[in-house]
Amino acid sequence: MDKAVVFLCLCVSAGTVASAVAVALGDMDAEDGWDEYPESPEVEDMPEENDELVQQDCVKAFSSPDYIMEPEVFNQLKRYFKASGSAEKVVQLLSDNYTAVAQMTNLIAEWLIQAGIDIKEVQEMVERHLQDMILQHFDMKKADSIFTDEGETPSWLAEMIEFPTWRNLFYRLAEEYPDCLMLNFTIKLISDAGYQGEITSVSTACHQIEVFSRVLRTSIGSFLESGEEATVEKNLSEFSKMVCHGEHTYLYSQLVMHILCQEPRGGSNIRRLCQEIHKSAKARGMDVTPITLALSGAAAYPRACQALSSMLSRNALNPADITVLHKMYTSADPPPVELIRSPQFLDMFIEALFKPGVKINVEHKPKYIYIVSYASSVVEMWKKGVRKSVNRDELKTTQQVLERAHSLCSEHKGASELTADVATLFQCLKLQVVAMGVLRWIQYTVTDPSYFQLNTDHTPLHLALLDEISSNHMLLHKEILMLLVQLFESTFPELDVLVQLELKKMLLDRMVHLLSCGYVIPIVTYISNCWKKGDTDISLIRHFVSEVLDVIAPPYTAEFVQLFFPLIDSTEITGSLRSMTDSDQVSDFIRHCRENFVV
């Protein structure tokens, strides 16, 4: 930038300011000139001051850079003139100290636009720098003084919150300065304006019951409306952070959701949300067991409540407490089944029954199996808070199947020895509670470092069992994919390179089977990310694409095409799969996508 041009602009700006100040002061000499700039309450209520001290104070303010841009400049001018200050001195001070920061910013922005840079890019550049400056120099005390000085909500604040850029700035500031009154008030203004869906991660919202209630309602509504697992997982982290901010927010949220659970429409989704929040709270080290038991109605059954509280708080099963629960649930009038349907509680039983190496006393094992079977198979009918019936028709069958599956998994048989019992295991896997237990057993077995070193089968029996679980239980698809990804990303240094490639192709085959069972988007997303990161052998990506083309057919969803088409369109991946006549699966897929989608 030419220094002479900058200097000329500064001179013009300074001269303009001096003229503007002189005109403004001339207008204020009129009898009613001050009415245009009403005084703040502080100025009106201010006691008589010494004229000399007032002049010194005002001169100090007028000497600060760009003071003419400050909102309180007119109030200070009135104080100064009431104290018999010199108008010429004011003009000189304000013009001499006018550095024109805002005007120079606008000028440079105009130059950048004229130089060919897009106006949106220039605007984002200025806003981004201004955000950084505010974050760096924000003063909580000065911010709070805005309300005491002006006595009402500043008009510029209401305008700022209309823009996403400045709302995000307030969210960041509110996280860093949770005790700032001005920021807390701004968060409430944002909530009042209807943007509560954006502030789930702002801890400040947790201190204002009105704001928190709005955010909670909006978040729960979005979970119910979307209904998709991906959306729930995406938003659950921020929602959990807000709800688990403290015991008061956790209790309030769980109480509200507990009431919503009773609704016939969407009640099961809310119950799942309650369980996810409970799991998140436990992961954060919060002891929420008393709240969980209180909301489940355990207080009406003191002995069961005491037994459950002891085990849930310590996250460990106790044979004495199990015996108490077994006795109560085998009685003619058992406690509600909901008391023992806590995911945390059932997970402890799955670990005890299916984790290799865990020993259960022979005397207590039937009690463990009975309680798990009761929780997973018994159906109760309630009406207006009164239990009308308890259906135990499937209880005995569930016990027998669970007992058989536990015996097979705990006998430490090798893959070859288990082959004779595959048919029995497949029958057992039709029950979801058994499938969950066997999946846990498979996880511990196949993640053992020596498993693939000792197993020479192309598809080990344990992974073949995963295919059966995938086919029967869609709710376990996520768990299965997590296990397959863990194995796929593992290194097996003791195996030959070619053996490792064949092993990973076999794992991709399991993913393709899982995809054919309906778990499409997460799997294709994972493989797409592997390709983009460039850390996966291209032959493995090609194998996956080839296998997927064998099991899919139109019509396709736009989301699937968006993820899968780049893999198909890459000649690096599918070049060797295409024919000269374009009559192959790759060409057919590309042709179909280009005819029906924007790719």
**What's the pLDDT tens digit per position in 158-216?**
888 888 888 888 888 888 887 788 888 888 888 888 777 777 665 666 777 888 888 88
CB atoms closer than 10 angstroms to residue 85: 18
Q: Which amino acid is at 413?
A: K
In DSSP terms, 381 is beta-bridged to: 389
pLDDT at residue 552 in the model = 93
Residue 106 pLDDT more than 80? yes
Residue whose token pair is 């305008």: 159
Rounded Cα–Cα distance for residues 310 and 546 (Å) = 53
Contact between residue 586 and residue 578 where contact means Cβ atoms under 8 Å apart = yes
- 390: tokens are 């308890």
Predicted confidence (pLDDT) at residue 1 exceeds the cutoff of 70: no
Work out the angle at residue 135's Cα, subtended by the Cα atoms of residues 130 and 140, and round it to the nearest 5 degrees.
120
Beta-bridge partner residues of 379: 391
- Per the model's pLDDT, the better-predicted residue between 525 and 101 turns out to be 525
Tally the residues of the chain.
599
Q: Provide the residue type at 423 as one letter.
A: A
Q: Considering only residues 277 and 263, tell me which one the structure prediction assigns the higher pLDDT.
A: 277
> How far apart are alpha carbons 529 and 181 in whole angstroms?
44
Contact predicate 542/573, CB 8 Å:
yes
CA distance 218 to 207: 17
pTM attached to this predicted model = 0.71
Taking each helix axis from N to C end, the angle separating 343-354 and 267-283, rounded to the nearest 10 degrees, works out to 70
By three-state DSSP, how is residue 597 classified?
coil
Q: Which pLDDT tens digit goes with each residue over 493-548?
A: 888 888 889 999 999 999 999 999 999 999 999 999 999 998 899 999 999 999 99
Q: What is the mean pLDDT of residues 426-438?
A: 94
Angle CA 293–299–304, to nearest 5: 80
